[in-house]
Amino acid sequence: MAEHRTILHADLDAFYAAVEQRDDPRLRGRPVVVGGMGRRGVVSTASYEARRFGVRSAMPGSEARRRCPDAVFVSPRMEVYLREAQVVREVFESLTPLVEPLSLDEAFLDVTGSAALFGDGPAIAARLRAEVLERTGLTVSVGVAANKFVAKVASDLRKPDALVVVPAGTEAAFLAPLGVERLWGAGPVTVDRLRALGLATVGELADFPAQLLAARIGERAARHLQCLARGEDDRPVVPDREAKSISRETTFERDLRDDEACHRVLLELAESVGRRLRRAGKRSASVRLKVRFPPFRTVTRQAAVDPPTDDDLQIAALARRLLGQVRSSRQPVRLLGVGAAELIDGDVPRQGSLFGEDAPAVDPRRARLTQAVDDLRERFGDGVIRRGG
Amino acid sequence: MKILCDRQNLQDAFSVVGGIPPQKTPKPIVQNVLLRAADDRIVFFATDFELSARVTLDSVKVLRPGEVLLPAKETSALLRELSEPTLALESEEHRCKIESGSGSFVLVGDDPNEFPAEPTFDGTRTFKVPSAVFLEMVRRTSFAAAREETRYAINGLLLDYDAGNLRLVGTDGRRLALTSAEIEGGDEPARAVVPIRTLHSLLKAVGDDGDQDLEITLGNSQIAFSLGDVEMISQLLENRFPAYEQVIPKVADSTIEVDRSLLEKNLRRVAVLSSGDVRMVRFEFKSSSLELSAESSGVGRADLSMDASVDGNGGKISFNPDYLLDALKVSDLETIRIDMTDDATPARFSLGENYTYVLMPISGS
């Protein structure tokens, strides 16, 4: 067993736009915007040339046109991107079985065990970049580090077409000059609070007294951020196809009593679980609920789902029903978790339904909507869109 | 209370109500059965608040009238084990002593005054149907009703009455069973969704003996079944049954006739190798044959051919074999008819006189 892990974060550079530039020589060297057509379209990817004008993903097309009038707007060709992503995935999986895709164009690889075959982290990263370029003509930026968080920061640092290696033991020094907004879990509100404390860089945050920080942003958040700031992150790389179950849970800083709030949390957890199911191409035949009542009584319940589902609302509805079975109204809870087990491949044959309303997941409009929301979240993060009401 | 009675009669009567007390309940008192003795007859009454049943047993010698609560589970088990022809039951406080001759058993019940009262029933609309006919209708449809709680809306059978014709419909959203019979019941239409549990309890309670008329009375939120000494009252489910008539195919590209018992047998054989994430058997209708096949990766594969008379182009369609076997089992026809169009359209099976089964295929195979 190695002393430390070797984790790669690989991220294709301006993926969709790069594919368009590859396939149409006239687009090369020019600002290209994929998406953002139509009256209400938003940009899905901008080429680096367009980014120089301030065009960003998720930006309304009209705004992108204003910032970069010379940009060429093209419609997304999802089937082409999917095909390329598959090739890239094959390259990843030829280097290690431990591949955790984050989206079409991004993945973590744990290559600790591949050293004897392919060399050390930097060597494997170089090989990965060369093979992706050779097979697809696309460039991929890679970060190499001893954990996921640092690898991700590294891959992002000198994009595009970059390889950044952070040797084990130098994580804190590597992170120190970077802005606190780089920290995973530091949203705008937290960043504002950190700035108010005079903490602009990761290094300043790492050195700040833990108790003072906890008093300002809460104990859990403080501990979490300072761990990251020191470059500590022990989350494993979880390959999708090994997943036996997918679950998400959240612990509340203050016990939650409100029924509506509990349901809201269950919906958010169900959305996260549903998204990971869909990403893995799985459906679940068993939905699980985990509840912790203060101080430490933890209860789990599960319900069968037939036919198996990957639908957020159906998972949320079941989780809600299970919660109703173990919790009385306004009873405080400390933790809620939603899980999906008994996973089956999503593309296996499916039992059809006689009545449309009986099978919400099969409703093509809802499935399309869910897919669209997934795409947005993959690209711009969970906060980009929420269910109304 | 003190009575003398025939053991077999007592056991039969008790079994009518013995299945109703719930295994788990916030009110443990309803895990008992109430026994009331007076005028040389005894009445058993049990309830779980949604479904209640009472049965009257004559030909009993009541030596001292009174009431007692018997724990349902233990009493059922005990009556099954006893073999002496005559039993003596005597209550004292909230206990009941059962003497069989070879032994004496004391069952601890609860205070009969605390037991829920028999429900008041508001129904007036009455239908009459020979009990054997109705029970067969329940058997033909109940297996198709939803089991999971998530589909609570169709966790019961629809009773749909119109102009002398009673239909029973069960569906879980993937299959639908429909059967009908001519019965007495007046001109006005009526609809009600009866919990599947109620109908299963009815099947158990009345058995298949004879041509006695079952009396069904409908109220606003309740339904009552009455047959001889047995009376059951149940809450109805919300009347939210799906528009079932729309999903019964009216036309089809192909009409096929096959031998029912042979299909059942062959389907069982092929289904052995259909285990996987989804239970599935492929049907391919050729000009004069039906090819059945199933495959289970890493386990094996089955192929089987049988005679079929096919009118139309035939084609391929896949079903969950269990769903079809459920229906073939209760069909009494020698030759059944299948109307199918393609692998995305429900197929219609004609399985008996006034007996239709609609099954949604498995797609993407």
* Rg from Cα positions in chain A: 22
For residue A145, what pLDDT band results from cuts at 50, 70 and 90? Answer: very high
Residues A111 and A199 in one domain: no
Of A344, A355, A359, the CB nearest to B277: A344
Give the chain A residue nearest B243 (alpha carbons): A355
Question: Of the residues A167, A185, A204, which one is the last residue of a structural domain?
Answer: A167
Over the stretch B206-236, which tens digit does the pLDDT of each residue have? Answer: 876 667 889 999 998 999 999 988 999 999 9
- CATH code for position A216: 1.10.150.20
DSSP three-state, residue A338? strand
Residues A89 and A20 in one domain: yes
Nearest in space to A101 (alpha carbons), one of A117, A112, A85, A115: A85
Residues of B in contact with A352 (CB under 8 A): 174, 344, 346, 360-363
B184: DSSP letter: B
Across A300-304, A367-371, B161-165, least confident range = A367-371
CB-based contact A213:A200 (threshold 8 Å): no
CB-based contact A284:A343 (threshold 8 Å): yes
Residues A35 and A152 in one domain: yes
Residues A337 and A212 in one domain: no
Write out the E strands in chain A. Answer: 7-12, 32-35, 43-46, 72-74, 99-103, 106-110, 140-145, 163-165, 246-256, 282-293, 297-309, 333-345, 350-351
Q: How many CB atoms lie within 10 A of CB B175?
A: 26
For residue A103, what pLDDT band results from cuts at 50, 70 and 90? Answer: confident
- Interface with chain B: mutation pick from A301, A344, A345, A358, highest number of B CBs within 10 Å: A358
In a domain, residue A234? The reply is no
Over the stretch A29-48, which tens digit does the pLDDT of each residue have? Answer: 999 999 888 766 788 899 99
As a whole number of angstroms, the distance between CA A221 and CA A229 comes to: 12
Question: What is the average per-residue pLDDT within B110-118?
Answer: 93
Q: How many residues does chain B have?
A: 365
For residue B277, what pLDDT band results from cuts at 50, 70 and 90? Answer: low
Q: Looking at the predicted structure, is the pLDDT value of residue B58 above 50?
A: yes
Over the stretch A311-321, which tens digit does the pLDDT of each residue have? Answer: 888 899 999 99
Tell me if domain B2-114 and domain B125-245 are identical in fold.
yes
Name the one residue in this structure whose structure tokens are 């006893």.
B82
Interchain CB distance below 8 Å, A353 and B360: yes
Domain coverage including residue A271 = 245-380
As a whole number of angstroms, the distance between CA A238 and CA A98 comes to: 7
Of A303, A317, A352, the CB nearest to B362: A352
Residues A157 and A72 in one domain: yes
As a whole number of angstroms, the distance between CA B363 and CA B365 comes to: 6
Q: How far is CA A47 from CA A53, A54, A86, A381, B362, in A?
A: 10, 11, 21, 19, 44
Query: The tokens of B93 are what?
Result: 């406080």
The pLDDT of residue B24: 83
CB-based contact A107:A89 (threshold 8 Å): yes
Q: Looking at the predicted structure, is the pLDDT value of residue A194 above 80?
A: yes
In a domain, residue A114? The reply is yes
Over the stretch B281-337, which tens digit does the pLDDT of each residue have? Answer: 999 999 899 999 998 877 889 999 999 999 999 999 999 999 999 999 999 999 999
Q: Catalytic site residues of A?
A: 106
Residues of A in contact with B363 (CB under 8 A): 349-350, 352
Residues A177 and A163 in one domain: no
- CATH code for position A100: 3.30.70.270
Interchain CB distance below 8 Å, A349 and B150: no
Name the one residue in this structure whose structure tokens are 């050293």.
A115
CB-based contact B32:B113 (threshold 8 Å): no
Give the chain A residue nearest B346 (alpha carbons): A354
Interchain CB distance below 8 Å, A355 and B363: no
Boundaries of every domain in chain B: 2-114, 125-245, 248-359
The pLDDT of residue A381: 62
As a whole number of angstroms, the distance between CA A91 and CA A109 comes to: 11
How large a percentage of chain B has pLDDT more than 90? 73
φ/ψ of residue A234, rounded to 5: -105, 20
Of A321, A347, A358, the CB nearest to B173: A358
The pLDDT of residue A241: 53
Residues of B in contact with A309 (CB under 8 A): none
Question: What is the average per-residue pLDDT within A2-10?
Answer: 88
Q: How many CB atoms lie within 10 A of CB B362?
A: 24
- CATH code for position A277: 3.30.1490.100
Name the one residue in this structure whose structure tokens are 């007495």.
B184
For residue B33, what pLDDT band results from cuts at 50, 70 and 90? Answer: very high
- How close A108 gets to chain B, by Cα (Å)? 29
For residue A109, what pLDDT band results from cuts at 50, 70 and 90? Answer: very high
Interchain CB distance below 8 Å, A350 and B360: no
Question: Of the residues A140, A167, A194, which one is the last residue of a structural domain?
Answer: A167
Residues A26 and A105 in one domain: yes
Q: Looking at the predicted structure, is the pLDDT value of residue A386 above 70?
A: no
φ/ψ of residue A33, rounded to 5: -120, 120
Query: Helix crossing, B72-81 with B7-18: angle to 10°?
Result: 150
Interchain CB distance below 8 Å, B175 and A358: no
Of A317, A349, A355, the CB nearest to B278: A349
Q: How many CB atoms lie within 10 A of CB B53?
A: 26
As a whole number of angstroms, the distance between CA A104 and CA A97 comes to: 17
Residues A225 and A257 in one domain: no
Query: The tokens of A236 are what?
Result: 């494993």
Q: Total domain count for chain A? A: 3
Question: Of the residues A167, A196, A214, which one is the last residue of a structural domain?
Answer: A167
- Which residues of B have a CB under 8 Å from any CB of A? 148-151, 171, 173-176, 242-243, 247, 276-278, 280, 318, 320, 344, 346, 358, 360-365
The pLDDT of residue A1: 44
In a domain, residue A240? The reply is no
Q: Looking at the predicted structure, is the pLDDT value of residue A89 above 60?
A: yes
Question: What is the average per-residue pLDDT within A211-236?
Answer: 90
Across A216-220, A333-337, B48-52, B53-57, least confident range = A216-220
Q: Looking at the predicted structure, is the pLDDT value of residue A169 above 90?
A: yes
DSSP three-state, residue A152? helix
As a whole number of angstroms, the distance between CA A56 and CA A78 comes to: 19
Beta pairing, strands A72-74 & A32-35: parallel
Name the one residue in this structure whose structure tokens are 């609070």.
A193
B248-359 has which fold? DNA Polymerase III; Chain A, domain 2 (3.10.150)
B125-245 has which fold? DNA Polymerase III; Chain A, domain 2 (3.10.150)
The pLDDT of residue B236: 93
Interchain CB distance below 8 Å, A348 and B364: yes
Residues A151 and A196 in one domain: no
Question: What is the average per-residue pLDDT within B174-188?
Answer: 92
Architecture of domain B2-114: Roll (3.10)
In a domain, residue A48? The reply is yes
Interchain CB distance below 8 Å, B344 and A318: no
Nearest in space to B237 (alpha carbons), one of B259, B216, B222: B222
